Chain A
Amino acid sequence: MKIIDTLQETSAALLANKARSGLTMLGIVIGIASVIAMVSIGQGAQRSIQERIQSIGSNLILVMPGFQRGLGFQVSQGRGSARTLTQQDADAIAGLSEGVAAVAPELSGRYQVTAKGTNTNTSVVGVVPAYPDVRNVQIDLGSFVTQQNMLSLSKVAVLGPTARDDLFGTDTNPVGQTIRIRGIEFKVIGVTKAKGGTGFGSQDDMIFIPLSTAQKFLAGDAFVTTISVQAQNQNAMAGLQQEITDLLLARHRISDPQLADFSVVNQNDIVATASSIAQTFTILLASVAAISLIVGGIGIMNMMLTTVTERTREIGLRKAIGATKRDIAMQFLVEAVLLTGIGGVFGILVGVGVSVAIAAFGVLQTAVSLPSIILAVAVSAGIGIAFGFYPAQRAADLNPIEALRYE
C-alpha cells in the first residue's frame, strides 16, 4: 500500500468525524501553543533582566561595604550598611593598573526633597564627574557634576527624570531652579535621560550631587557607599576583581578574606545569576505546559482506541480483502500522527500569536525562538507516534474472522 493511499484513507476517516477529530486536535493545539508561549515569555523575561542589568553600565565591578564580623561574633549589621570604604580606597583602585578604565565612588542615601510646594522622598547620590561614563547615564538638559563643583563643594543637583517629574512636573525644564535636600538649598544644573525601569530602586528616580558636597553636608563623614569600577574590557574583569580584593584587604589590614569588610561584585556574575533564575522560571513554565501536552496526547490515544473499536468490522473487511498487518497499523498510526501534526501547526500559530499579543500589549517583550518551534513540532509528531502506536497495534492484531463478526 502506498503512502498516498494511506493518507487518503486516513483523511477520509478524520473528515468523517469532524467534531471528534477537531476536539482531540484541540488538546494538542493547546499543549503546543502553551509550550511555545510559555517558553517565549520565559526567554523574554530573561532577556529583559539581562538588558536591565547591562543598562547600569558595561564591564562594571561594584565594590560595596560589607560588615566586619568580630572573632566569635556572629552578629551582622547587614551587608552594605558598614562604613568601611573611603574616597582614598577609590583613589587607590584608580591607581591600580591599566585594567581600570574609570572609577566612580558614590555615596547614596534617601532624603526628603522639596521644591516649591512639592515634596518627595528619593535617593540622593553623591557622585564624581566620571559617574555618567561608568554607570551609563546620559544628560538630557543642562550639564552634569563637574570637577570644579567637586572642589568647591558646590550645592548643585542633577535630577533624574522621575525625580524631576515629581518635583517640577512632567517634561518641564527645572535647570536654574532650586530644591531643598534636608533643608539645604541646591541649584538644579541638569536632568538625565530616562533609562527605563520602574518601581523601587529605579535608576530614574535619583538626584545626583557632587560627592564632596554629599559627604560634607548630608552624611557628615568621608565614607562612600559604592565604588563603581569600569574595566577596560570584559576579559580584564576577573583579574581586576581579584586585584581590587587584594588591594582592599591590604588597605583594611584584613588577613583572612573570609572576614573582608567589603564585597566585590562582578557585573557578569550578576547577569549570570539573574539569567539562571530566569532560566529556572522558564523551565518551570515549560514543564507546566508540557503536562498539558501530555494530556493532549492521552486524548489522542483515547480517541484512537475508540476509533479502532468502532471500526472493528471495517478493519476485518480490509484484512479480508488483502490488507496486511502493516497496512492496518500504518493507517491508524498515520491517523494519529496527522491529528497531532495538524494540531501542532495550529498550536504553533496560536502560541506565536499569544506571545506576539503579550508583546503588543506591552506586558513583556516575549521572544519566540526557532528551537522552541522545532522542538514543538518534533514533540507533537513524537506524541502522535507514541500515543498512536498502541491503538494501531491493536487494530493490526485483530483477527479478521472475529473482526468481521464484531457487533
Chain B
Amino acid sequence: MIEISDITKTYVDGPLRFQALRGVSFSIDDGEFVAIMGPSGSGKSTLMHILGCLDTPTSGAYALDGRDVSELDDDELARIRCEKIGFVFQAFNLLPRATVMRNVALPLVYADVPAEEREARARKALKAAGLDEAHYAHLSNQLSGGQIQRVAIARALVNDPSLILADEPTGNLDTKTGEVVLGTFQKLNQEQGRTIVLITHESDVAEHARRIIHVRDGRVIEDSKSHTRRIIHHENN
C-alpha cells in the first residue's frame, strides 16, 4: 500500500544545496508495523514528511493506496492527509484550551463529517487509544503526558486512516509512559490491523515494531525484521 521508489529530496537555500534523501525505495504492506530508525541528520524526518504527504519528493515516485501522490499540489495533499493519514507528534500538538473530545474530533471537522456523527467516532477512537472515559470532557492541558499522547493517538485514529505516522511519539515521555504508548500502538496493530510507521532514533523504541528500516545519510542501509522484538503486555487498557 505504500510504495516508494528512488525518492530523493534536495533542499535549495540560495547557493546551498542539501541532499536529504539520495534515492530511497521500499514498500510497506497493509497491517505492517514498521520503525524507521536513524540518527539525527539521517533524513528520517524528511522521509516522514514525504510519507505523511506534508512535502513532496524532488524526484522519485510515491504511491499511497495505489495513487501517485508525489506531484500533488497543497490542497490535494491536504485532502490526502485528511483521509488517509493519522499523525502522532513528539510534541503532541493538542489545542490547549479545548476539551479532549474537541481535540479528537478536530480532523472530522476538516473531513466534513456531519456534526452529529463526530462524538460517536471520537469516542470510538478514544476507546481504541485506551483513554479512560472520565477524561473525555477534560481540557487537554489538565492531562498527564501519557494521557495527552493517547488523545493524540485517538485523534490520529478518528478518520480511520490507512496509515498512522508516529514521529518520535515517546520523545517527550518518561520510559514507563513511553512503554504504555508503544503498547497502545502494538495493540492497534495487532487487534485492528492498523498500518503504523514509527519514526525514531532510539533502537529501544524501534524494537517495538515488527520491521525496522535503518536510514543513514539519506539512504536505507538495512531493512529487516526486528530481531529482538519487545512486546508490551497490557493488563488494563
Binding site for A on B (CB under 8 A): 49, 52, 54-55, 74-75, 78-79, 81-83, 87, 89, 91, 93, 95, 97-98, 102, 106-107, 109-112, 115, 155, 159
Contacts and interface: CB of A to CB of B under 8 A. Distances in A.
Interface stretch (A61-69, A153-161, A201-209, A315-323): A315-323
Contact of A325 (B54, B74, B95): B74
Contacts of A401: 49, 54-55
B110 A404 contact: no
27 contacts: A1-B109, A5-B109, A12-B102, A317-B93, A317-B95, A318-B106, A318-B110, A319-B81, A320-B54, A320-B93, A321-B87, A321-B159, A322-B78, A322-B81, A322-B83, A322-B107, A322-B110, A323-B78, A323-B110, A324-B75, A324-B110, A325-B78, A326-B75, A401-B49, A401-B54, A401-B55, A404-B93
Nearest to A9: B109
Nearest to B107: A321
A318 B109 CA distance: 10
A133 interface: no
Contact of B111 (A313, A322, A325): A322
A243 interface: no
Contact of B97 (A12, A317, A321): A12
- Ranked nearest first, the 7 interchain pairs of A and B with the lowest CB-CB distance are A322-B82, A322-B110, A317-B93, A321-B107, A324-B78, A16-B97, A5-B109
Interface string A141-178: 00000000000000000000000000000000000000
Contact of A327 (B55, B83, B95, B110): B110
Interface in A204-263: none
B95 A314 contact: yes
A400 interface: yes
Classify the interface of chain A: helix, strand, loop or mixed: helix
Nearest to A313: B93
A116 interface: no
B75 A325 contact: yes
Interface in A1-60: 1-2, 4-5, 9, 12, 16
Contact of B106 (A4, A321, A400): A321
Contacts of B159: 321-322
Given A5-B109, A322-B83, 6 more contacts: A2-B112, A12-B102, A317-B93, A318-B106, A321-B110, A324-B74
